[in-house]
Chains A and B, each alone.
Chain A
Amino acid sequence: MTIELLEKLCRLNGTSGDENRVRDFILSEISGFCDCRVDPLGNIIAEKKGTSAASKKVMVSAHMDEVGMVVTSVKSDGTITVSPVGGIDPRVAIGRPVRVGDSDICGVIGAKAVHNLSADEKKTAPKFSALYVDIGAEDKSAAEKLVALGDFVHFYSEFSVFGDGFVKGKAIDDRFGCAVMIDLIKSELPYDCVFTFVVQEEVGLRGSRTAAYSVEPDLAIVLEATTSADIPLASGEKRCCELGRGAVVSHMDRSTIYDKELYRLSHKLASENEIGWQTKTMVAGGNDSGSIHISRGGVRTIAISAPCRYLHSPSCVVKLSDLEDCEKLAKLMLEKMCTL
């Protein structure tokens, strides 16, 4: 996976329910390499021809949406109230630049000057309901010419490679998974399989539910980014997983108990091929596996995730070596699972 592809994907704005721009970009990337259609919810279902027919139907899935906000009202002074879309800690929204609506209007989520805060206010972070977006409009009517209720608000932050092989930016969860799938679709694969770029993961694993129903797979691989707390403030098992130690394969999270055989297979393939592999040391988080593994009569499912610091913030941080490990492992697992 090239960093340029990941950067292009992360720079696109696609809050849950507003994935159009991400979908259009992906469709333009993969057209000609597979047979694809868009389902009623907006999922891309891409059927890829391999060298041979597979004995098992495998679906590989990643979500296109990112966490963001939605406009709920315009106030008399021209500022805009918002609700979070997906799980956002209000503390990572306050004091940041944002983009509003389809035309990406510049705005900021400000904060009352620290000089004017009471002692209690200084100690308590505001709730989402107290935050508002300022686009510089002088009053309500000026703002209403530019912004409509229901418009989406996206984080705006710099995507960059920094430190020794780290990457930071918004929406790495889960444009990373999308980037790996684009790569796989463009490559020669040994067996036929199906790729789904799904919508609305962040608001309850909704796109993957209809995609899995349509595709009707025997097995599934979910490509994701998962929370890591390998920072000095957390120690031992609380770190969950660590950057630089390779692909994260969970045995269990809040949405899924993963297929034990696939879990063991991933470990075996990783060690045979000298690919970094780790599992999570806490039962935390969840992903589209939650809806896919209980689709129809059940789908044997595994998730391969990049460990990611500051997930669901404008500054997700991942390590390039982990991204490579995830991609290698995904490719090997896909090949094996097609003939299980």
Chain B
Amino acid sequence: MDLEKSIMSLADARGVSGDETNAAELALSMLKSYTDDCFIKNGNVIGRLGCKGSKPHILLDAHIDQIGFTVTHITDDGFLKIAGCGGIDRRLLLAQQVTVLGSKPLDGVICAIPPHLETDESKVPEMEDICVDVGLSKERAEEMISLGDKIVFSSRCEKLQGDRITGAALDDRCGVAAILRALELVNDKALQCELTVMFSTQEEVGERGAKIGAYDIEPDIAIAVDVSFALTVDDSELKCGKMGGGCMIGFSPVLDRELSQRLKAVAEKNSLPYQIEVMSGTTGTNADRFSVNKSGVKAVTLSIPLKYMHTPVEVISLSDVENTAQLIAAYIMEVVS
């Protein structure tokens, strides 16, 4: 697969938490290259590979949803009132171009009090003071937009210098791409264990898809492939990894320490660059749900460093995605042998 193209097409697909169909169907079609046994259940994209019933049963997960908004009301003059789906940074909303996923995609602009009426440029608007301008009267808006329709940032993926890519939903579509790439790397080998892939729904609103998905899948080992913070000048080295520094292997009280160590050893053995991400409690990823599934699952996080998380201009390095895929594939091959 062309990793860069796959990441960009996945991240340009639309899938706000709770309405991931567009992105989920694209991911499903890509997953079909590796297994015929794949389907969407309750919003989760599931693919089953390897020997059914063989231990250990490994779950590879990345979430398919992205942050966005939902339409809550249409005002008398045709503007949309909205609520956030997931962690929204209200500092950057003014005049953002968005796409309203109505009966057809509609362009819109987020608006709030204009400068001549609001002189304080440091003021961050409250969600209730924000609306979306779709250039329609109330009647016309109601013809095409229903309450509950989702809204995404309009920005499209673009290539930056080197191997860096910017886009609005790289969190966590680059994780989806990393898993697909890992499947490609192990594809030709006969898998001696059971392997399930899940592109899970509703992570951004509280890892809900992970909870219901893991219940059905019942894995022994769960690997949550997500993004984590890459260092920027305005952030702390204590919280962030380095862009281009390779996959971030999670160590946390809620993760399985042996599994974290194993992945670290696999990275070293295969000369793959990696970094350690230490968290002192829950991880804020699907791994938190996996570890307490049913009677318990050994869980770990593998994170791709990402700058400007939850903005329309998230940035990743292609090499980190490739290295994450390599690490996943090497780990699976080691478990198999």
CA distance A95 to B315 in the complex (A): 11
Give the residues in chain A near B311, CB-CB below 8 Å: 94-95, 110-111
Determine the residue in chain B with the shortest Cβ distance to A233.
B113
Give the residues in chain B near A315, CB-CB below 8 Å: 95-97, 109
Q: Does A39 contact B (CB under 8 A)?
A: no
Give the residues in chain A near B111, CB-CB below 8 Å: 231, 233, 309-310
- Contact yes or no, B124 A122, CB < 8 A: yes
CA distance A317 to B161 in the complex (A): 31
Determine the residue in chain B with the shortest Cβ distance to A165.
B135
Q: Does A35 contact B (CB under 8 A)?
A: no
Contact for B121 among A75, A125, A168, CB less than 8 A: A125
- Contact yes or no, B131 A96, CB < 8 A: no
Interface membership of chain A positions 82-123, coded 1 if the CB is closer than 8 angstroms to chain B and 0 otherwise: 000001011110111100000001111111111111000011
- Contact yes or no, B232 A112, CB < 8 A: yes
Contact for A317 among B92, B96, B133, B233, CB less than 8 A: B133
Contact for A116 among B131, B233, B235, CB less than 8 A: B235
Determine the residue in chain B with the shortest Cβ distance to A92.
B95
- Contact yes or no, A94 B92, CB < 8 A: yes
- Contact yes or no, B166 A108, CB < 8 A: yes
Give the residues in chain A near B309, CB-CB below 8 Å: 113-115
Residue among B108, B109, B312 with most chain A CB within 10 A: B109
- Contact yes or no, B122 A125, CB < 8 A: yes
- Contact yes or no, A158 B236, CB < 8 A: no
Q: Does A190 contact B (CB under 8 A)?
A: no
- Contact yes or no, B131 A92, CB < 8 A: no
Q: Does B284 contact A (CB under 8 A)?
A: yes
Q: Does B239 contact A (CB under 8 A)?
A: yes
Interface membership of chain B positions 76-92, coded 1 if the CB is closer than 8 angstroms to chain A and 0 otherwise: 11010000000111111
The distance from the CB of B111 to the nearest CB of chain A, in whole angstroms, is 5
Q: A122-B91, A163-B136 are in contact. Are A134 and B129 (CB under 8 A)?
A: no
Give the residues in chain B near A162, CB-CB below 8 Å: 106-108, 134-135
Contact for B308 among A110, A123, A230, A313, CB less than 8 A: A110
The distance from the CB of B325 to the nearest CB of chain A, in whole angstroms, is 21
Q: Does A304 contact B (CB under 8 A)?
A: no
Q: A108-B166, A125-B91, A142-B161 are in contact. Are A113 and B244 (CB under 8 A)?
A: no
The distance from the CB of A294 to the nearest CB of chain B, in whole angstroms, is 24
For the residues of B in contact with A, the DSSP-based class is loop
Q: Does A157 contact B (CB under 8 A)?
A: yes
Give the residues in chain B near A227, CB-CB below 8 Å: 114-116
For the residues of A in contact with B, the DSSP-based class is loop
- Contact yes or no, A96 B312, CB < 8 A: yes
- Contact yes or no, B109 A168, CB < 8 A: yes
Give the residues in chain B near A123, CB-CB below 8 Å: 124
Contact for A163 among B87, B106, B154, CB less than 8 A: B106
Give the residues in chain A near B140, CB-CB below 8 Å: 163-164
- Contact yes or no, A136 B91, CB < 8 A: no
- Contact yes or no, B89 A95, CB < 8 A: yes
Give the residues in chain B near A136, CB-CB below 8 Å: 160-162, 164, 166, 315
Give the residues in chain B near A106, CB-CB below 8 Å: 158-160, 166
Contact sample, A vs B, 28 pairs, CB 8 Å cutoff: A89-B115, A90-B121, A92-B95, A94-B91, A94-B311, A95-B92, A97-B158, A97-B166, A97-B312, A110-B232, A110-B311, A111-B308, A114-B88, A114-B309, A115-B310, A124-B122, A125-B91, A125-B123, A126-B122, A134-B307, A135-B161, A138-B244, A158-B154, A163-B134, A227-B114, A234-B113, A310-B94, A315-B97
The distance from the CB of A82 to the nearest CB of chain B, in whole angstroms, is 14
Q: Does B282 contact A (CB under 8 A)?
A: no
Contact for B116 among A91, A113, A168, A282, CB less than 8 A: A282
- Contact yes or no, B313 A95, CB < 8 A: yes
Within 8 A of B (CB), among A244-296: 282, 284-285
Number of A-B contacts defined by CB within 8 Å: 206
Q: Does B112 contact A (CB under 8 A)?
A: yes
Q: Does A130 contact B (CB under 8 A)?
A: yes
Give the residues in chain A near B236, CB-CB below 8 Å: 116
Q: Does B69 contact A (CB under 8 A)?
A: no
Q: Does B1 contact A (CB under 8 A)?
A: no
CA distance A310 to B109 in the complex (A): 9
Q: Does B29 contact A (CB under 8 A)?
A: no
Give the residues in chain B near A310, CB-CB below 8 Å: 94-95, 109, 111, 114
- Contact yes or no, A138 B162, CB < 8 A: yes
- Contact yes or no, A108 B315, CB < 8 A: yes
Q: A113-B308, A135-B160, A310-B114 are in contact. Are A91 and B131 (CB under 8 A)?
A: no
Determine the residue in chain A with the shortest Cβ distance to B76.
A232
CA distance A123 to B134 in the complex (A): 27
Q: Does B155 contact A (CB under 8 A)?
A: yes
Give the residues in chain A near B122, CB-CB below 8 Å: 124-127
Contact for A91 among B91, B117, B159, B313, CB less than 8 A: B91
Q: Does B234 contact A (CB under 8 A)?
A: yes
Give the residues in chain A near B154, CB-CB below 8 Å: 158
CA distance A239 to B99 in the complex (A): 25
Give the residues in chain B near A240, CB-CB below 8 Å: 116
- Contact yes or no, B233 A231, CB < 8 A: no
Q: Does A314 contact B (CB under 8 A)?
A: yes
Give the residues in chain A near B308, CB-CB below 8 Å: 95, 108, 110-113, 134
CA distance A92 to B75 in the complex (A): 24
The distance from the CB of A5 to the nearest CB of chain B, in whole angstroms, is 20
- Contact yes or no, A232 B135, CB < 8 A: no
CA distance A227 to B95 in the complex (A): 14
Q: Does A77 contact B (CB under 8 A)?
A: yes
Q: A123-B124, A125-B91 are in contact. Are A284 and B109 (CB under 8 A)?
A: no
- Contact yes or no, B131 A233, CB < 8 A: yes
Determine the residue in chain B with the shortest Cβ distance to A135.
B161
Give the residues in chain A near B274, CB-CB below 8 Å: none
